[in-house]
Amino acid sequence: MRFTQFRPILLEGGNMFIGTTSFDQAVVPQVLKILNNALSGARLKVTPVGSGASPVAGKISNDFDVMTDEDAVKAFFKTDDAKEARRKLAEYIRNLGFQTAQSGIIVHVLVPVNNMGVQADIMVTPQADTIAKFHTHNIPQGSPFKGKNKVLTIAALAKSKGYLFSPWQGLFKRTPDGKKGEMVSNDIETVAKILLGNSATAADLGSVESILKKLPKNEADNLLTNLRADPNWEEAK
């Protein structure tokens, strides 16, 4: 069955399809099942990230972010080129009857569920299962901060300690000219201990609040002040 009632278009707010709608996270398990069933023939799977990794019934989202492993995609489609692998993945999903679109490393898929059009954003990235943990958040109820803020906080904290953090690769030593040096670790437990101390765990990197709580107060205050001066920083009023 082909779903043709929606057509792709880039809209403000990140929506790639006319007909997409905000949705209750209660439907996330259904959307995840549809995606993984669709990809099973390609021996691929997706891992939820962001708020969709721990969905809460009653909480509203605009899209559903997932990751899939770049090497697995390249292997199935028999190509060494990541861009070509993403193109073929989008084509493969489209041939199953779904609307698809592409931007950067993301293959966008319109997933019909419960008479709605839910936009799923499949990020095709190396070592997806490992890297996905950096994009799994535990944002407190009522927090003014989002997952984007958490990633910026980790990056700023890493910089203050002489490292460079890439949310797509892990923690690196920072060269004198501010570029990536030697890889330190892409294991989130190890990164937590390096940045927050030996008693830290991955859970301490789950939100802006948990990161700041683990730091001495003066360091936490200075870090947040500097972050709020960053033009990329946005928080709810």
CATH of the domain at 113: 3.30.460.10
176 falls within a domain: yes
Give me the tens of pLDDT residue by residue for the chain, a chain 237 residues long: 333 333 333 333 357 888 788 999 999 999 999 999 999 999 999 999 988 888 888 888 889 999 999 999 999 999 999 999 999 999 999 999 999 999 999 999 999 998 889 999 999 999 999 999 999 888 888 899 998 999 999 999 999 999 999 998 999 999 999 999 999 999 999 999 999 999 999 999 999 999 999 999 999 999 999 999 999 999 987
Contact present, 25 and 60 (Cβ < 8 Å): yes
pTM of the complete model: 0.78
Distance CA 85, CA 206 (A): 31
In a domain, 148, yes or no: yes
The verdict on 215 and 198 lying in the same domain is: yes
Residue 28 forms part of a structural domain: yes
Domain boundary, last residue among 73, 103, 132? 132
Identify the pLDDT of residue 84.
98
Question: Which of 132, 157, 173 is at the close of a domain?
Answer: 132
7 part of a folded domain: no
Please state, in angstroms and rounded to a whole number, the distance separating the CA atoms of residues 182 and 169: 12
Q: Are 125 and 40 in contact (CB under 8 A)?
A: no
| 32 and 128 co-located in one domain | yes
Q: Residue 220: which residues within 8 A CB-CB, separation 6 or more?
A: 212, 213
Query: In the prediction, which pLDDT does 19 show?
Result: 73
Burial environment of residue 128 by CB neighbours within 10 A (0 to 12, 13 to 18, 19 or more) = buried
Task: Please give the tally of structural domains in the chain.
Answer: 2
Residue with tokens 């492993």, as numbered in its chain: 69
Asked if the structure places residue 1 within a domain, the reply is no
Q: How far is CA 219 from CA 61, 142, 144, 178, in A?
A: 33, 24, 20, 22
Say yes or no: 190 and 127 in one domain: no
Domain contains 236: no
pLDDT of the residue at 14: 56
Say whether both 28 and 126 belong to one domain.
yes
| Environment class of 201 (CB within 10 Å of its CB; exposed 0-12, middle 13-18, buried 19+) | middle
Pair 76, 165 in one domain: no
Q: Which domain covers residue 99, as residue numbers?
A: 23-132
CA-wise closest residue to 111 among 30, 52, 46, 56: 30
Residue 234 CB neighbours (<10 A):
12
Residues 6+ apart with CB under 8 A from 80: 74
Domain boundary among 115, 132, 149: 132
Residues 217 and 153 in one domain: yes
- The answer to whether position 183 is within a domain reads yes
